[in-house]
Amino acid sequence: MKLFPSFVFQNRWNVAGFVLGFATLPILWWALSLLDSEEAMMQRFYKSESESVLGGIYWTCKMHWDDHDPQDECTREIITNEDYPFEPADMVEYELKGNATTFRATAQHTGDPLHTVYSIDADGNIHDANGRESD
């Protein structure tokens, strides 16, 4: 059984084209990845830092509610005390309020020139300022 039909490799130029085509795919991918601007990379960094802080807040509050009453308000003092492992990023400002059912927290990276605010709800869904759910 032949892997390719005989007409595909009728001469050496077909073979060379086939090999060259597959050899250039990684190079093409690398070249296209260089087109990403520094601003886009920084925006992804700001987003990931903000979302990381929101995730930390969310899971720290969940631990608090598991240890105590879910109707307790989760506050900055609770999540930063020594009983829980949350340590916020230095350049991310955040706010939080609510109990296990009404919880909401927001975070914004101070270096973000677009000043994008991200939020997380009681179900752990993260959204940007426009209400779009994050990836």
2: left (phi over 0), alpha (psi -120 to 50) or beta: beta
Predicted TM-score (pTM) of this structure: 0.71
Q: Determine the pLDDT at residue 28.
A: 74
Write down the H helix ranges in the chain.
12-33, 38-67, 76-79
- The tens-digit pLDDT sequence of the chain (135 residues) is 555 555 555 555 556 666 666 677 777 777 777 777 788 889 999 999 999 999 999 999 999 999 999 999 999 999 998 888 888 889 999 999 999 999 999 999 999 999 999 999 999 999 987 666 665
What span, in angstroms and rounded, lies between the C-alpha atoms of 84 and 98?
Answer: 18
Short-list 95, 88, 100, CA closest to 56 = 88
What span, in angstroms and rounded, lies between the C-alpha atoms of 81 and 86?
Answer: 8
Looking from the CA of 42 toward its CB, the CA atoms found within 13 Å total: 11
Q: Determine the pLDDT at residue 62.
A: 95
What span, in angstroms and rounded, lies between the C-alpha atoms of 107 and 83?
Answer: 22
Rg of the chain taking only CA atoms, in angstroms: 25
